[in-house]
Structure formats: structure tokens, C-alpha cells
Amino acid sequence: MVDLDGQLFQLLENPYLEPAWQVADLASQLQDVLVEMAPSLRLESVWPACVAHQHTHPLTATVRDGRAVWECPATHETVRPI
């Protein structure tokens, strides 16, 4: 459960995924919650933003070489680990 500004959100762990994919999946769920809550939390509506593309789109949670990472959805370049 995540409590943001008095609202509870449940993040669901998928036990059938490999550990790195579990991390990426949970990061993606948290990303969805934060984007939904962005206005009330005074956050950017694009999170985490792709700095390489002037914050025009969010990064995507995925797995590369066995590690959970954020990647640019336009270029598929790894930006940073999750």
C-alpha cells in the first residue's frame, strides 16, 4: 500500500515474474500512481521525465541485461537503473 496525500494505492507484486521484472513492474505501477497524483502533489505530470527529449515523455520501466532500468521509449536507450 502506498499512501499519497491521504489516498491509498495498492501495488501488486506478481510472484511469477523474475526478480528484475518484479522491480520493473512495481516501478511502472508506482509511476502510474504518481502521474495520477501529480497535480495534487505538485509534481510534473511526466515522471520520470526523459531529459534527453526535453521532458516530452516519461521513461519506461523495463529489464536490460538482468537489471531493472528506466529507458527512453523513443530510442530504447537505458537512462538509469531503477
The whole-model pTM stands at: 0.82
Residue with cell 518484479: 22
pLDDT band of 4, cuts 50, 70, 90: low
How does pLDDT run across 17-39, given as a tens digit for each residue? 999 999 999 999 999 988 888 88
Give Rg (Cα) of the chain. Answer: 13
Contacts of 50 (CB under 8 A, 6+ apart): 56, 57, 58, 59, 72, 73, 74, 79
From 18, 10, 30, select the one nearest 82 (Cα to Cα).
30
Q: Is the separation of the CB atoms in 61 and 31 below 8 Å?
A: yes
